[in-house]
């Protein structure tokens, strides 16, 4: 079979098709209220450059210039078909990869597909090349090109979710806050005194473990949950029930649990004249 006749304009045409299919998929799957953005064009331009470079490298490996555009066309055509498919498959299967950056899972699907197609096509396009040259051109070159595009981690979606205005977030926080700031500060001594008074004393001849858990970041529930989890874990594993202090910054515990402030921390340290082991978890924040 003669060498393929794909030209540079064919590469550009398929690249435009790739952009159109990517946009159509993003438009179909975008949520109500999402905003359109041209930023994704930068990622598509990078994909075009990577595919073009892969074609040139493959042509050098195979010692056949006519192959360059054809390899680029195969890579871009596979991407044009794969982009809409992964938008359907990935949400159902679940993934830790953000689909809005670096084309999400494109590399995982497009790279083996390109390798499979090129492995057959290059036997016809460059029969004079040795098998290892064809193998490199079919597998290593497109895989590396697509991997680099995805690893750049650039924004690749034509739509993005508009985040709430900071003022709206603040207003919502104030609406949920049912304790006046002055009253909250006034009851801190009472709350910390209550926890210190509830601490059990150290038992003679027994090494008792004391725990001080702090959740200084009150913007997310995870930090409070971690302190609660660690407290329960210590009570079960080390039997230190009644020898734990929790300092939490959270909207739900403001009026019942002392806050994670420097003053409360300093008052908790020498509690009960026992060696109070301070636990620094990932939620600790001073």
Mean pLDDT of the 173-189 span? 71
Task: Give the pLDDT score at 283.
Answer: 36
At 134, which helix (H) or strand (E)? helix 131-135
Model confidence at 3: pLDDT above 80:
no
For 218, the token pair is 């009150």
Beta strand spans in 203-252 (E) = 210-215, 244-248
Task: Give the pLDDT score at 177.
Answer: 57
What's the CA gap between 116 and 52, in Å, rounded?
A: 19
Model confidence at 272: pLDDT above 50:
no
Model confidence at 123: pLDDT above 80:
yes
Task: Give the pLDDT score at 87.
Answer: 76
Model confidence at 278: pLDDT above 50:
no
Which range, of 162-171, 182-191, 245-254, 264-273, averages the lowest pLDDT? 162-171
Closest CA to 55 of 139, 143, 148, 137: 137
Mean pLDDT of the 99-106 span? 77
Task: Give the pLDDT score at 239.
Answer: 83
155: β partners: 101
Compute the mean pLDDT over every residue in the chain, rounded to the nearest whole number: 80
Task: Give the pLDDT score at 5.
Answer: 65
Report the predicted TM-score, pTM, of the whole model to 2 decimal places: 0.56
Q: Do 47 and 19 touch, CB atoms closer than 8 A? A: no
Task: Give the pLDDT score at 113.
Answer: 93
Task: Give the pLDDT score at 172.
Answer: 52
Mean pLDDT of the 98-118 span? 84
Model confidence at 98: pLDDT above 70:
no
Residue 132 phi, psi (nearest 5): -70, -30
Q: Do 268 and 192 touch, CB atoms closer than 8 A? A: yes
Q: Which one is predicted more confidently, 86 or 49? A: 49
Task: Give the pLDDT score at 269.
Answer: 72
Confidence of residue 174 (pLDDT cuts 50, 70, 90): low
Q: For the segment 31-61, what is each residue's pLDDT rounded down to a tens digit?
A: 777 888 888 899 999 999 999 999 999 999 9
Which range, of 166-170, 219-223, 278-282, averages the lowest pLDDT? 278-282
Which range, of 76-90, 112-126, 151-165, 223-237, averages the lowest pLDDT? 151-165
Mean pLDDT of the 108-129 span? 90
Q: Do 223 and 216 touch, CB atoms closer than 8 A? A: yes
To 5 degrees, how large is the angle CA 161–CA 166–CA 167? 130
Three-state SS across 23-38?
HHHHHHHCCCCCEECC
Per-residue DSSP letter, 139:
I
Helix orientation angle between 67-93 and 106-125, rounded to the nearest 10 degrees: 150
């Amino acid at each position: 079979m003669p060498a393929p006749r794909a030209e540079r304009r064919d590469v550009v045409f398929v690249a435009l098709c790739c952009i159109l299919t990517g946009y159509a998929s993003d438009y179909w799957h975008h949520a109500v209220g999402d905003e359109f953005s041209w930023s994704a064009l930068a990622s598509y331009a990078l994909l075009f450059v990577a595919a073009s470079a892969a074609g040139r490298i493959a042509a050098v490996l195979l010692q056949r210039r006519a192959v360059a555009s054809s390899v680029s066309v195969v890579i871009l055509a596979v991407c044009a078909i794969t982009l809409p498919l992964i938008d359907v498959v990935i949400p159902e299967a679940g993934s830790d990869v953000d689909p809005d950056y670096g084309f999400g899972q494109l590399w995982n699907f497009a790279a083996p597909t390109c390798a499979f197609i090129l492995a057959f096509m290059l036997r016809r396009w460059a029969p004079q090349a040795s098998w290892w040259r064809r193998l490199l051109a079919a597998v290593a070159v497109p895989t590396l090109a697509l991997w680099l595009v995805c690893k750049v981690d650039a924004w690749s979606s034509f739509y993005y979710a508009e985040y709430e205005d900071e003022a709206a977030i603040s207003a919502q926080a104030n609406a949920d806050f049912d304790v006046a700031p002055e009253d909250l500060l006034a009851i801190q001594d009472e709350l910390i005194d209550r926890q210190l008074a509830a601490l059990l004393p150290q038992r003679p001849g027994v090494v008792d473990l004391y725990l001080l858990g702090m959740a200084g970041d009150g913007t997310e529930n995870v930090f409070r949950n971690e302190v609660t989890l660690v407290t329960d874990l210590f009570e079960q594993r080390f039997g230190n029930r009644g020898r734990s202090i929790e300092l939490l910054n959270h909207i739900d515990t403001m009026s019942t649990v002392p806050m994670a402030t420097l003053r409360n921390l300093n008052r908790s340290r020498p509690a009960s004249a026992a060696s109070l082991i301070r636990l620094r978890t990932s939620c600790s924040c001073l």
